[in-house]
């Protein structure tokens, strides 16, 4: 099937319907806003940030794009099924999933409770599986639209900690390592349906999840030693990468992780040693 709508790089997601999980704050919020300005109608999923989600939606609408709220716990199979139903009732179809919801519940291994282990795996890994499965079911049932070469696109928000081991965060690192191979296995499985699955591995992005790592000048200096490019990332840095991975400009890209980290994965300690 050929793309019959001329691609416009200023609105690379024109006519597409995108569901973004964890979109009431941080990286997810930036992606929802950027997708809307790139021409997409967006579903703003949140768990408990109803007021924040409402603000994001109002501002997107005020700018002339479509947005709807989607309250759901991505770790709940029922919630996820209901969320996709609501999304499709509103927009008629789905073209893009950004599986972004993620949490940290940090503890030294000896103090880490089973509940902390499970909740992080449930949200960060099982949540992405449940949403990806639902999106793939939808993509497989729909017609390909003239706005997109692929039948559907999934962007998993992972982390540099899919590569870098992280003391005190074994649940989080394990969940992100899992996201990496889940993403690749899904990409391999659904490529023949013309569905693309990719990931973004953000480094230290200035959001509330890592506030302690940048909020004092001393903490910020310590963090900057790990970032060769010399600045902390902004959520907008990740949003730009997400637009590209969701658009036809990356149509031949699947099963890949785009690392957006200012060089954090370049073994910065080796600038002085080795």
Question: What is the binding site for ligand BGC (CB under 6 A)?
Answer: 104, 159-161, 203-204, 209-210, 213
Whether residue 88 contacts residue 94, with contact meaning beta carbons closer than 8 Å, is answered with yes
Query: Is residue 46 annotated as a catalytic residue, yes or no?
Result: no
Smaller CB distance to ligand BGC: residue 144 or 236? 236
Instruction: Work out how close the CB of 166 gets to ligand BGC at its nearest, in angstroms, rounded to a whole number.
Output: 7
Count of other CB atoms within 10 angstroms of residue 92: 10
189 Cβ neighbours under 8 A, 6+ residues apart: none
Q: Smallest distance, Å, CB 213 to ligand BGC?
A: 5
Contact 46, 71 (CB under 8 A): yes
Q: Is 38 or 120 the residue whose CB approaches ligand BGC more closely?
A: 120
Rounded Cα–Cα distance for residues 63 and 75 (Å): 32
CB of 137 to ligand BGC, least distance (A): 28
What is the C-alpha separation between 102 and 121, in angstroms, rounded?
9
- We find the least distance from the C-beta atom of residue 104 to ligand BGC, in angstroms, to be 6
Q: Which residue, 69 or 263, is less far from ligand BGC as judged by CB?
A: 263
| Rg over CA atoms, the chain | 18
Closest CA relative to residue 83, chosen from 46, 109, 116:
46
- Cα–Cα distance between 86 and 92 in angstroms, integer? 10
Helix (H) or strand (E) holding 63: none
- DSSP 8-state symbol, 202: E
Choice among 46, 147, 172, 229 that is catalytic: 172
Catalytic residues: 172
């Amino acid at each position: 099937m050929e793309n019959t709508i001329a691609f416009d790089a200023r609105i690379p997601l024109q006519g597409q319907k995108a569901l973004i999980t964890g979109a009431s704050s941080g990286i997810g919020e930036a992606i929802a806003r950027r997708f809307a300005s790139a021409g997409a109608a967006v579903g703003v999923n949140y768990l408990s940030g109803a007021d924040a989600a409402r603000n994001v939606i109002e501002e997107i609408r005020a700018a002339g794009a479509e947005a709807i709220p989607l309250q759901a716990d991505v770790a709940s199979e029922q919630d996820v099924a209901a969320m996709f139903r609501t999304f499709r009732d509103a927009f008629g179809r789905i073209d893009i999933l950004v599986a972004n919801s993620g949490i940290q519940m940090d503890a030294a291994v000896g103090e880490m409770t089973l509940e902390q282990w499970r909740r992080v795996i449930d949200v960060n890994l099982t949540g992405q599986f449940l949403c990806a499965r639902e999106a793939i079911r939808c993509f497989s049932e729909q017609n390909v639209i003239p706005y997109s070469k692929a039948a559907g696109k999934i962007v998993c928000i992972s982390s540099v900690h899919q590569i870098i081991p992280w003391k005190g965060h074994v649940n989080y690192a394990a969940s992100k390592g899992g996201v990496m191979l889940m993403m690749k296995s899904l990409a391999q499985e659904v490529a023949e349906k013309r569905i693309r699955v990719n990931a973004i591995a953000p480094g230290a992005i200035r959001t509330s999840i890592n506030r302690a790592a940048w909020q004092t000048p001393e903490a910020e200096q310590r963090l900057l030693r790990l970032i060769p490019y010399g600045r902390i990332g902004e959520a907008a840095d990740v949003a730009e990468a997400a637009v590209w991975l969701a658009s036809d400009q990356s149509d031949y890209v699947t099963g890949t992780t785009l690392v957006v980290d200012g060089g954090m994965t370049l073994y910065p300690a080796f600038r002085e040693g080795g």
